[in-house]
C-alpha cells in the first residue's frame, strides 16, 4: 500500500498554468510552444484501439511532452460502477502512463457504465456509506494496480438521490481520506451543481480538505431552458463565466496555490483565446494566493 | 416490503442505464410499454426495480427533465463521434436517417470500450441485416471501410526500412526473403467500389456518384502516410501480391504463385521500390539479417 505525505508528485512551478490539450490546437502548440504551460490530455484519446496504439494523436502527444509537462485525465475508469475495474482498460492506461510519464493521472468520481457497457457519460452516485465503502475499495485496488495515487474529480450534477446519507463534499472528502487519493476540484462543476441542486458553493469549498486538492479545473457552461425552469449544463464550450472566476478566487483563498487548468471541449476557439483564459487564471492566482 | 427499501447500487445503475439509453426518450420510456415488435426489445424493457422514486424532487425542474439531460448527453456524444468516424455513411444517408441508425446501432452493439472511436467496430455486421441497406446495398461495405480507416489511423507505428539494409542483401538471399508489411496496411476486398466514395468525401457531386454506384469486384489498399490515412484502388495482381507478402510467403514462392497469372510479367521491382518508399514494406527478413 502506498503511503504518502500531503501531495502527489512534484507540482509545477507557481507561474505555470494548465490547458486542456485538444486536437485543433496541435499545430499551434507545436509551431510555437507556449511558455510556462502544462497540458492535460484525455487518456482515452491516446489509448488507440484494441489492436493499435499508434497514430497521429499519440505521436503529437509525445512531441508536446518534449516541451511541456503532461497530466492524464481519464473519462472511462468507471470507478463508481458496481462493475469490477476493467483490467483491459487499466492495462491500456498503465502502458499509456509508462509511455507519457504524466505528472499525475486523474478521473471522475462517478459511474460511466454497468454490466460491461460504457455509456461515455459521467453519471451521479448516491452518497451512501455502502457506496463510499465500495468506491474506496475500488480506488485502492486501481491505485495499487497502477502503482500510483490518482486524483478524482467532482462532476456536474443534474439530480440527487433521496437515499443519499451525506452531501457530495462530505463524500468526496471522505473518499480522498480513506482511499488516500487526491481531489481534482472542478470549480465550474461545483457552480453548475449548486445552481441545479440548490446549495451554497462556498459551503462545498469550506468542507474540502485543502491538503487533498491536487488540481483545479475551470471551464464554461451553458444555460438550458426546460419546460419548468433553467438548468446549467457543463458544456465546456465558452469562456469561464464571471461567477466561476469569483468562486475560483474563493477556492484559492482557502487552498492557496493549486495547479489550475482551463478546459474547453466544444466550439473550440483559437489557441490564443484558450491561452488568454489560462493567463487570467494565472493572474488571479498570483494576486489571491 | 421490498419496494420500500433503498435500491442497491446495481439496481439503481441498471435502471438509470435503461432510462437514459431508451431512444424513445425518458418520458416515453417511463410511461409507455414498448411495442413488442421492436428489434432488441429486451433493451427497451424496464428493469424490475423502478428507481424513479429515489430521485430527489428539486423544484422547479422535474425529475424527467433532469434525467433527460443525461439521456441527451449520452446520445449526443455518441452521435457526434459516429458522425465524425462514419462521415461518408452520414453524407450518404443524411442527418435524420443517420441519427436513427446510430440509435439502432447502440441497441444492437452498446459500447463496451473505453475509446469512443472503437464503438463503431461492428458497423458492417450491423448494416448487413438492416433496412437501410436494402436501397443502398453497398452500405455494409462502406461501414467496413470506414472502420478499417479508423484501425489504420490508430495502428502501431514501426520504423522505416533503412535503404542501406536492402543494398547489403546478397543476390542469393532474395529468393528466401520475406517482407514485413506496415501494421497500418489493410487489404480491402469488396463487391462495391466504396473506395470511390471515400475519396469523393469533399466532392459536391458525391450524391450523384452514389446513385450511379454499381457492383463490381474491388481491391483497395488502406494505408497511413505521415499520419494521414489513404484509400486507393489497386489492381488484382498488386492486391494478391500484397496479400501473399502479408501472409509471410518468401519472394521465391510469391514469384511462383504469380507466374502465369498475367500475360506480361508484373513490374515487381518497380512496385517493391514504391512500397518501400511509401512505408508499406517496413522490413525485409533474410538469412543475413536474422542471424
Ligand atoms: Fe473538469
- B26-48: pLDDT as tens digits: 999 898 887 877 777 777 788 88
Cell numbers 457552480 label which residue?
A: A191
Q: What is the mean pLDDT of chain A?
A: 94
Q: How far is A118 from chain B (nearest CA, A)?
A: 5
Summarize pLDDT for B120-141 with one digit per residue, the tens.
999 999 999 888 898 899 999 9
How is residue B194 written as a grid cell? 466504396
- Give domain status of residue A239, yes or no: yes
Q: Are strands B186-190 and A222-226 parallel, antiparallel or unpaired?
A: unpaired
pLDDT bin (cut points 50, 70, 90) of residue A289 is confident
* Nearest-Cα residue of chain A relative to residue B147: A49
What is the Cα–Cα distance from A72 to A108, expressed in whole angstroms? Answer: 12
Whether residue B78 lies within 8 A of chain A, CB to CB, comes out as: yes
- What percent of chain A stands above pLDDT 70? 96
- What one-character DSSP code corresponds to residue B275? H
Q: How far is A267 from chain B (nearest CA, A)?
A: 13
- Give domain status of residue A3, yes or no: no
Residue A1: pLDDT above 60? no
Q: Is the model's pTM score more than 0.90?
A: yes
Summarize pLDDT for B58-87 with one digit per residue, the tens.
888 899 999 999 999 999 999 999 999 999
What is the Cα–Cα distance from A270 to A183, expressed in whole angstroms? Answer: 30
pLDDT bin (cut points 50, 70, 90) of residue A256 is very high
Between A53 and B148, name the one with better pLDDT.
Answer: B148
How is residue A186 written as a grid cell? 472542478
3-class secondary structure, B284 = strand
Between B133 and A126, name the one with better pLDDT.
Answer: A126
pLDDT bin (cut points 50, 70, 90) of residue A242 is very high
Q: Which residues of B touch A118 (CB under 8 A)?
A: 110-114
Smallest Cβ–Cβ distance between B74 and the set A119, A131, A164 belongs to A119
Q: Between helices B63-85 and B95-108, what is the axis angle to 10°?
A: 100
What is the Cα–Cα distance from B132 to B177, expressed in whole angstroms? Answer: 47
Supply the pLDDT for residue B101.
Answer: 95
Q: Which of A10-24, A58-72, B148-162 has the highest mean pLDDT?
A: A58-72
Supply the pLDDT for residue B36.
Answer: 78
Domain count, chain A: 1
* Nearest-Cα residue of chain B relative to residue A45: B115
What is the Cα–Cα distance from A143 to A164, expressed in whole angstroms? Answer: 26
Whether residue A228 lies within 8 A of chain B, CB to CB, comes out as: yes
Between A263 and A48, name the one with better pLDDT.
Answer: A263
- Give domain status of residue A75, yes or no: yes
pLDDT bin (cut points 50, 70, 90) of residue B1 is very low
**Could you give the residue ranges of the DSSP H alpha helices within A36-162?**
56-67, 87-100, 129-146
3-class secondary structure, B172 = helix
pLDDT bin (cut points 50, 70, 90) of residue B204 is low
Residue B231: pLDDT above 90? yes
Q: How far is B85 from chain A (nearest CA, A)?
A: 13
- Give domain status of residue A11, yes or no: no
How is residue A113 written as a grid cell? 457504465
What is the Cα–Cα distance from B37 to B96, expressed in whole angstroms? Answer: 22
- Give domain status of residue A13, yes or no: no
Find the A205 Cα to ligand 1 centroid distance in Å. 16
Residue A5: pLDDT above 70? no
What is the Cα–Cα distance from A76 to A190, expressed in whole angstroms? Answer: 21
Residue A187: pLDDT above 90? yes
Supply the pLDDT for residue B46.
Answer: 82
Q: Domain containing A212: what range?
A: 18-283
ipTM of this predicted structure: 0.93
- What percent of chain B stands above pLDDT 70? 96
Domain chopping of chain B, boundaries = 9-150, 156-290
Find the A154 Cα to ligand 1 centroid distance in Å. 8
Q: Which of A213-222, B163-172, B199-208 has the highest mean pLDDT?
A: A213-222
Range name among A56-70, A108-122, A260-274, B197-211 with the lowest pLDDT average: B197-211
CATH number attached to the domain at B156-290:
3.90.930.50
Supply the pLDDT for residue B161.
Answer: 85
- Give domain status of residue A5, yes or no: no
**Domain at A266, CATH number:** 3.20.20.150
Amino acid at each position: 500500500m502506498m503511503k504518502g505525505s500531503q501531495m502527489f508528485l512534484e507540482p509545477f512551478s507557481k507561474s505555470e498554468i494548465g490547458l486542456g490539450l485538444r486536437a485543433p490546437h496541435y499545430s499551434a502548440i507545436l509551431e510555437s510552444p507556449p511558455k510556462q504551460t502544462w497540458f492535460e490530455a484525455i487518456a482515452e484519446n491516446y489509448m488507440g484501439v484494441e489492436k493499435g496504439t499508434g497514430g497521429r494523436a499519440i505521436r503529437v502527444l509525445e512531441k508536446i511532452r518534449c516541451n511541456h509537462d503532461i497530466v492524464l485525465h481519464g473519462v472511462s475508469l468507471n470507478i463508481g460502477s458496481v462493475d469490477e475495474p476493467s483490467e483491459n482498460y487499466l492495462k491500456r492506461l498503465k502502458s499509456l502512463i509508462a509511455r507519457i510519464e504524466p505528472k499525475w493521472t486523474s478521473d471522475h468520481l462517478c459511474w460511466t457504465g454497468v454490466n460491461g457497457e460504457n455509456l461515455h457519460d459521467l453519471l451521479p452516485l448516491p452518497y451512501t456509506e455502502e457506496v463510499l465503502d465500495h468506491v474506496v475499495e475500488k480506488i485502492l485496488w486501481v491505485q495499487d494496480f497502477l502503482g500510483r495515487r490518482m486524483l478524482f474529480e467532482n462532476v456536474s450534477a443534474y439530480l440527487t438521490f433521496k437515499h443519499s446519507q451525506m452531501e457530495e463534499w462530505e463524500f468526496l472528502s471522505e473518499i480522498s481520506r480513506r482511499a488516500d487519493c487526491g481531489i481534482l476540484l472542478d470549480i465550474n462543476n461545483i457552480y453548475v451543481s449548486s445552481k441545479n441542486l440548490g446549495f451554497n458553493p462556498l459551503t462545498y469549498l469550506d468542507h474540502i480538505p485543502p491538503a487533498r486538492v491536487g488540481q483545479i479545473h475551470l471551464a464554461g457552461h451553458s444555460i438550458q431552458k426546460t419546460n419548468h425552469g433553467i438548468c446549467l449544463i457543463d458544456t465546456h464550450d465558452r469562456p469561464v463565466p464571471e461567477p466561476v472566476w469569483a468562486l475560483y478566487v474563493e477556492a484559492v483563498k482557502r487552498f492557496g496555490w493549486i495547479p489550475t487548468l482551463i478546459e474547453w471541449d466544444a466550439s473550440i476557439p483559437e489557441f490564443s483565446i484558450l491561452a488568454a483564459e489560462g493567463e487570467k487564471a494565472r493572474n488571479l492566482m498570483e494576486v489571491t494566493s | 416490503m421490498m419496494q420500500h427499501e433503498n435500491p442497491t447500487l446495481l439496481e439503481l445503475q441498471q435502471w438509470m442505464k435503461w432510462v437514459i439509453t431508451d431512444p424513445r426518450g425518458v418520458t416515453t420510456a417511463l410511461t409507455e410499454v414498448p411495442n413488442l415488435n421492436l428489434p432488441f426489445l429486451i433493451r427497451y424493457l424496464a428493469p424490475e426495480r423502478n428507481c424513479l422514486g429515489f430521485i430527489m424532487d428539486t423544484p422547479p425542474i422535474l425529475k424527467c427533465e433532469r434525467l433527460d439531460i443525461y439521456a441527451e448527453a449520452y446520445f449526443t456524444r455518441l452521435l457526434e463521434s459516429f458522425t465524425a468516424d462514419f462521415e461518408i455513411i452520414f453524407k450518404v444517408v443524411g442527418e435524420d436517417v443517420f441519427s436513427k441508425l446510430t440509435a439502432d446501432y447502440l441497441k444492437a452493439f452498446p459500447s463496451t470500450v473505453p475509446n469512443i472511436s472503437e464503438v463503431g467496430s461492428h458497423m458492417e455486421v450491423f448494416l448487413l441485416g438492416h433496412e437501410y441497406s436494402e436501397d443502398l446495398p453497398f452500405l455494409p461495405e462502406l461501414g467496413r471501410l470506414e472502420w478499417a480507416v479508423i484501425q489504420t489511423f490508430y495502428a502501431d507505428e514501426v520504423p522505416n526500412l533503412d535503404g542501406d539494409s536492402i543494398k547489403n542483401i546478397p543476390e542469393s538471399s532474395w529468393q528466401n526473403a520475406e517482407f514485413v508489411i506496415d501494421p497500418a496496411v489493410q487489404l480491402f476486398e469488396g463487391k462495391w467500389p466504396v473506395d470511390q466514395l471515400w475519396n469523393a468525401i469533399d466532392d459536391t457531386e458525391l450524391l450523384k456518384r452514389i446513385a450511379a454506384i454499381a457492383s463490381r469486384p474491388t481491391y483497395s489498399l488502406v494505408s497511413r502516410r505521415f499520419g494521414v490515412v489513404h484509400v486507393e484502388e489497386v489492381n488484382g495482381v498488386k492486391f494478391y501480391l500484397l496479400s501473399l507478402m502479408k501472409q509471410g510467403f518468401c519472394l521465391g514462392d510469391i514469384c511462383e504463385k504469380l507466374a502465369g497469372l498475367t500475360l506480361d510479367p508484373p513490374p515487381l521491382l518497380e512496385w517493391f521500390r514504391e512500397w518501400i518508399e511509401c512505408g508499406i514494406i517496413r522490413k525485409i527478413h533474410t538469412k543475413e539479417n536474422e542471424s
